[in-house]
Structure 1
C-alpha cells in the first residue's frame, strides 16, 4: 500500500517536472528566436547602411570627377593662347582668301571647339545630377546653379565676342556689336591672378559643391 502511494506520487512529480521543463524549453526557444530576430534586424540595418554608404560614395566620386572635368575645360577655354590645331578648318569647309575673314574664321573654329569640349564635359555631369537629385534631393542642384550660371556667362561672352570681331561692311554695324559686348564684364581670358574676379567666383562656387559632395565620401 505504502509502495503504491510512493510510486503514484513519483509518477505525478515526474509528470509535473516534464511539464515544467516543457514550458521552460518553450520560453527559451521563444527567447532565442527573439534574440536571433533582434540581431538579424540589426545586421540587416547595418548592411543597408553600408550598402547606402557605398552607393553614396560612388555617386559622389563620379560627380566630383565630372565636376573637375568641366572645371578644367572652362579653364582651357579661357586660355589667351590659341594653338594652330584649334583653328584647323573643319572637313568640307571652304576657306576664304580674304585675310580678315580667314583670321575671324580661325578664331571662330577655335572657340567652337572649346565650347564643344565644355558641352561634352557638362552633359554627363547634368545626367549624373539627375540621379543625385532623385536620391539626395535638390541641395546639390541648388549649389550647382552658381557654377552653371558662371559657365553660361562665359559662353555668352564668347559668342558676343565672335560677333563683335566678325568682319562687317559698315562701321556702324561693327560699333553696335562692340557696344553690346561692352555692356558685360570681360571674362574671356584667364588672367592667372587675383584680379581675375570671374575665376575667383568660379573657384568659390566649385568649392561649395566639392565640400557638399565630400561629406558623402567614405573616409579612406
Structure 2
C-alpha cells in the first residue's frame, strides 16, 4: 500500500501547486486592474479639479469690482504718476497683474499634470485641455485693450462703442451665467473635457 501513497501524494502536491498558481495569477490580474483603475481615477479627478481651478482663476480676474487695496501703489514701484490718467492706468494694471498670479499658478499646475495625461491617454486629451488657454489669451488681450483706452488721449481711447462693449463683456463677469458669453464658451470646452474623463472616473473592481 505504501507503494501507492507516494505517487498519489506527488500528484496531489502537483495539483495543489497548479491550482495555487492559477489562483495567484487571477489575484495578480485583479490587483493590476484595480491598481490601473485607481491610478486613472486619481489622475482624472486631479485633472478635472485643476481645470475647474483654472476656470475659477479666470473668473477671479473678471470679477467686476476692484477694491482700492488691490490698486494701491507702493513707493518702490517707480516714479510717481504724472497725471490722473497715468495713475488710473497703473492702478488698474497692478490690480489685474495681482489677479493674474492665480491664473499663472493654475496653468503651471495643469501643465505638470498634462505630462501624466499624455503618458496614459495620449496627446488628444492634452490638446483639449490646452484649448482652454485660448480663453486666457482672449481675456488678457481684452485687459490690455482696456488699459490702452484708459491711458489714451483720444476720445473713448480711439475705439468705437461696439469694440468697447465687447471688451467690457470679456473682462467683466456677469451675474447671469447664460448672458455671459465668455463663461459659456469656456464652460462648453470644459464639458468636452468632462465627457472624455467620465469613463476614468469610475473605479475598476
Structure 1 stretches of 4+ moved >4 Å: none
5+ residue gaps, structure 1 = 1-13
5+ residue gaps, structure 2 = none
User: 1:153 is matched with which residue?
Assistant: 138
Query: Cα 1:82–1:24, aligned 2, differ >3 Å: closer, same or farther?
Result: same
Determine if contact 1:101/1:167 at 8 Å carries over to the other structure: no
| Equivalent runs, 1:25-44 vs 2, <5 Å | 25-44=9-28
User: 2:85 is matched with which residue?
Assistant: 100
- Whether 1:68 aligns to 2:49 is no
User: 1:126 is matched with which residue?
Assistant: 111
Q: CA RMSD in A?
A: 2.6
Q: Deviations over 1:153-211 (max 9, x none)?
A: 1122212222232244xx49x52xx37x9399531211233222221111121122234
CA distance in 1, matches of 2:197, 2:73: 41
The more displaced of 76-85 and 208-217 is 208-217
Q: CA deviation at 1:80?
A: 1.6
How many residues in Structure 1 have an aligned counterpart in Structure 2?
Answer: 197
User: 1:51 is matched with which residue?
Assistant: 35
Q: CA deviation at 1:36?
A: 0.7
TM superposition score normalised by structure 1: 0.78
The alignment partner of 1:77 has SS state of: helix
User: 1:197 is matched with which residue?
Assistant: 181
TM superposition score normalised by structure 2: 0.83
Match of 1:165 among 136, 150, 161: 150
Determine if contact 2:40/2:200 at 8 Å carries over to the other structure: yes
User: 2:171 is matched with which residue?
Assistant: 188
Structure number with greater Rg is: 1
The alignment partner of 2:50 has SS state of: helix
Match of 1:114 among 72, 96, 99: 99
The alignment partner of 1:81 has SS state of: coil
Determine if contact 2:125/2:196 at 8 Å carries over to the other structure: yes
